[in-house]
Structure 1
C-alpha cells in the first residue's frame, strides 16, 4: 500500500488520532504492517485464538458471533469499517479473542504484530495514551455495568440480558436462544417471557421464530 494511502487509513482509527504528521510519517516508514484480504463468508478469527496482532478493518463488514460458555445460546452482530477487533485482548490476563469474526462482505485489514505495538507504545507517547484510553474505557464500562439499577419490568430484563452480551448496544442483532433458556437466565416463567416477546413483535421491534430472536435495531428496544 502506498505510504500516503496508508497514512490516511491509519488516521481513521483512534489509536493514531492526535499524532503529528511527523510521527505518522515515521510510523509509516519504520513499522512493519501486514495487509490481508478475506472474501465473503471467510472466518478470520475463531473464539479462543491467541491475540498476537491488532486487526484494523479498513473496509467491509464483519459478522461477530459470541457464544455462551456452555454453548446454550449465541448472539450475532455486525461491525463496519473502520473497526479494531478487540484491541483490549492484545495485553492483560487473557490474551485470546472471545468471539468468532467472519467476513460478511469482502474485507481488508491492516495488521500490527504485538511486538510492533509495544515499540509504538515505547516510542510514541500519543499512541501509548490512545491505547491506555481504549483499555481504561473498556474496564470502566465493565465496572459500571454491575452497579446499574436492576430492570424493574420483564421487557427491560430481556433487553438488559441481550445488551450486556453484545459488543455494541446498537444495530442488527440475532439471538439464538430457546425460550426456556431465556426464562431461566432472567429467572422468570417461560410463558411470561413468551408473552413479552410477542408484545415486542406486535410493536415491530423484533421478529421471533423457534429458538431465534431477530432485532433489526437494538437501540429501539433500549
Structure 2
C-alpha cells in the first residue's frame, strides 16, 4: 500500500459517487478543499480493513473491487458482498458510538482507496445539509446490502437464491439486468458450488425463465418467475 497523488482524475471519481454527485458546483469545490484526504494504491488480495478495526475515516473506493467478509460465531468466513468502484463504504459506522467494523474488506484486484478524516467529514456534513442527506441515504443503502444477503441465503434452493438476487437488482422499468460478477464470485455469494450454479442457470434458460444475452446481460421472464416463491 503506497500513497499516490490526488490528481484531477481521482477528484472527478470522488465527486461521481452518490454521496457527492448531485451537489452544486460550489459545494463540490468545498468538498475537495475541506476534506483531509489521503490516497492509496493497493495491490490485489490485500486486506484494507479488518473486522473489529475502528472506523476512523470516510472510506471511498475510487478504483478496483473489494470483497467483504465476516467471521461468524463458528469461525467461518462468510461472504457479504462485493464493492465496485467508485463507492463509499463502511459509512454507517463512522459516527456510531461503537464504531468497530463488523466485516473485513479485501481487494480482489489492484485498487485505489481514498480516506478522509472523521473530523473533516463531520465539518462538511455539519455545514451542508445536502451532504448530510446524501450521507444518511448512502448509510441506509449499506445496511440494505447486508439484509439482502441474508434474504438470499434464507432460500432453500439454488434457483430461489438466484431469482431473489436477480429480482432485487432489476430496474422497475426493465426486465433485463447486467451481471457484474463472475460465476465463481456468484457461487461464493450464494454459498453453492460453481458447477451447481452453472447447471441451474442452464436449466432456467432451457425452461425459458431467463435468457442470457451479450455482455453479461440477462433478461428475466417475469411471468414465469411468479411461479416461484420470492
- Any idea what SS the aligned residue of 1:203 has? helix
C-alpha RMSD of matched pairs (Å): 4.1
Question: Is 1:173 equivalent to 2:175 in the alignment?
Answer: no
Tell me, which stretches of 5 or more residues in structure 1 are unaligned? 164-168, 183-192, 206-216
Counting only pairs closer than 5 Å after superposition, residues 194-205 of structure 1 correspond to structure 2 as 202-204=199-201
**Deviation per CA, 1:114-147, whole angstroms, max 9, x where unpaired?**
1111101111121111012223445678889999
Tell me, which stretches of 5 or more residues in structure 2 are unaligned? 166-178, 203-215
Pick aligned residue for 2:87 from 73, 83, 86:
83
Matched residues in 1 for 2:27 and 2:118: separation? 19
TM-score, normalization by structure 2: 0.62
TM-score, normalization by structure 1: 0.64
Aligned length: 185
Matched residues in 2 for 1:54 and 1:44: separation? 13
Matched residues in 2 for 1:55 and 1:42: separation? 16
Question: Is 1:45 equivalent to 2:49 in the alignment?
Answer: yes
Cα 1:2/1:42, change in 2 over 3 Å: closer
Counting only pairs closer than 5 Å after superposition, residues 1-222 of structure 1 correspond to structure 2 as 1=5, 4-72=8-76, 74-75=78-79, 77-138=81-142, 154-155=156-157, 159=161, 171=181, 172-175=185-188, 202-204=199-201
Q: Which has the higher contact order (CA 8 A, sep 6+)?
A: 1
